Amino acid sequence: MKCDFNRRGFGRLGLGLAAASLLRARARADTSLPLVMIDPGHGGEDPGAIAPDGLFEKHITLATGLTLRETLLATGRYRVGMTRSTDIYVTLQGRVADAVATGANLYLALHCDHLPFAGLRGASVFTLSNTASDALAAGIATDENGVDNGPAQDFNGVSPQVAGILASLETRATRLGSNTLAQDIQSSFTGIVPLLPDPHRSANFAVLRDPSTPSALLEMGCLSNPLDEALLKNPAHREMIAQRLTDAIDLYFANHTDYRLAG
């Protein structure tokens, strides 16, 4: 019997895949779209946190980052960059430099926690602060940071006094944007992705120091907790995290920036 592909839905499936592919291609090419820089933590000789069964943080962050890239591109609303797309080591300063060089409009670092108490579990989202919000945040920042000095912002052609004012204004606006992004992520996760108590925290993270790009660091869960580890190993859970992050980024650009998303 001859198959009717349209009747059986194969035609619609093919058209759907073609449309998604077209959206991805347009998103990569359209420089008017906002650029989201994804930073999968650790990599190469730096495994990051290691779960009791030997699972490396660097593998979870990369897998989630690649999934998030595809989820964002599939919307057709963003360009997407990555500080790494394979298992390589990138310095903290190099990660920030990538965001600056590409003119990223948003920067999101992906990590997994390893906390001193196995009973603690859940995701948390961090923004930059010279003073940590609490001892836990301070400890996490110490673990994630190396010796790193944030990139200096250069305001050519103005006096030192004016340069100082411009840098201050830019940093203030950037931090307001970062806090908004963190709140949008927390709202998108609430009731769906397990969260640590007081999940929006702050500390002096090296990768969040660029004064020109709103940024946040997401700890997706705790590899020191068996329930969180099982979730983070599950591709379906990582896909769900990617979708919730996409929803949060949609909200951020739709309501809190000069960009107005189409579609």
> pLDDT digit string (tens) for 16-58?
555 556 555 555 568 899 999 999 999 999 999 999 999 999 9
Coil, helix or strand at residue 42: coil
Cα–Cα dist 229/220, whole Å: 10
Query: Is the pLDDT reported for residue 239 higher than 60?
Result: yes
Cα–Cα dist 193/178, whole Å: 20
Q: What's the pLDDT band for 104 if we cut at 50, 70, 90?
A: very high
**Mean pLDDT across the stretch 70-84?**
97
Out of 114-123, 162-171, 225-234, the most confident range is 225-234
Residue 233, pLDDT score: 96
Residue 22, pLDDT score: 57
Pair 192, 93: CB distance under 8 Å: no
Coil, helix or strand at residue 109: strand
CA of 184: how far to CAs of 16, 17, 126, 161, 175, in Å? 29, 29, 12, 35, 14
Question: Rounded to the nearest 10 degrees, what angle do helices 160-189 and 235-255 cross at?
Answer: 130
The bridge status of strand 106-113 relative to strand 79-82 is unpaired
CATH H-level superfamily of 33-255: Zn-dependent exopeptidases (3.40.630.40)
Delimit the domains of the chain by residue range. Answer: 1-30, 33-255
**Mean pLDDT across the stretch 130-148?**
65
